[in-house]
Amino acid sequence: DIQMTQSPSLLSASVGDRVTLSCKASQNIYKYLNWYQQKLGEAPKLLIYYTNSLQTGIPSRFSGSGSGTDYTLTISSLQPEDVATYFCQQYNSWPTFGAGTKLELK
Amino acid sequence: QVTLKESGPGILQPSQTLSLTCTFSGFSLSTYGMGVGWIRQPSGKGLEWLANIWWDDDKYYNPSLKNRLTISKDTSNNQAFLKITNVDTADTATYYCARRGTTGIPTDYFDYWGQGVMVTVSS
């Protein structure tokens, strides 16, 4: 199976900061990568699909990039409502998720 | 409006069979390209994909659990089901069903999720 490694596991940032979350695959996943946001006690929500496509209704401050084995989720200006855990998921093979990055306010 | 809701037994004993139901609305599993997946999450931990069923009744399973899983659907009643045999404490988790959607190749994602159902395996 394809292993997904997310870093950092915990990120503290201030409102207005530009935040970058990383996701690394154990092999080339050809941009078959999605990002989800999970707030405490809620189900995951799709943010970004196929590396850089913004899901309908998601604020434009979220963006994705990457290729090969290395992918990034960027929040251009952190808002209080962005406090959550973020998961990447590949679908080049049967779906696997990263362990998540927990984003908190500094 | 797409909604999904999971239901299950809440608690069961080791070695029993876990039966989960996903009741959905706003889409049909008879529509080309549609699928429903099951994903679980132990408390405080990450997400693990379990199985998927597609509009054409094609089924895919997590290889590490494949011999314990059975996924099925009832298209006329907008439901999908998952059975996990011989459960143990490691199967304690919140279980989610999610619509597996696409806007066409190469996109493929879980775009709508249920609220999840907690399942505890305990003697």
What confidence tier does B116 reach under pLDDT thresholds 50, 70, 90?
Answer: very high
Least Cα distance to A82 among A55, A103, A106, A56 occurs for A103
Q: Is the dihedral of CA A72, A57, B6, A41 positive or negative?
A: positive
On the question of pLDDT at B111 being above 90, the answer is yes
What the block records as the tokens of A103 is 């984003």
CB B99 within 8 A of CB B111: yes
Report CA Rg, chain A.
Answer: 13
On the question of pLDDT at B103 being above 90, the answer is no
Residues of chain A neighbouring B35 (CB-CB closer than 8 A) = none
Residues of chain B neighbouring A52 (CB-CB closer than 8 A) = none
pLDDT tens for each residue of A58-106: 999 999 999 999 999 999 999 999 999 999 999 999 999 999 999 999 9
Q: What is the Cα–Cα distance from B98 to B35, expressed in whole angstroms?
A: 9
Q: Among A46, A86, A101, pick the best mutation site for testing chain B contact (most B Cβ within 10 A).
A: A46
Give pLDDT, residue B104. 80
| CB atoms B46 and A97 under 8 Å | yes
CB B20 within 8 A of CB B95: yes
Of residues B45, B106, B113, nearest to A43 (C-beta): B113
Per CB distance under 8 Å, which residues of B are interface residues toward A?
Answer: 37, 45-49, 60, 62-64, 96, 98, 106-111, 113-116
On the question of pLDDT at B105 being above 90, the answer is no
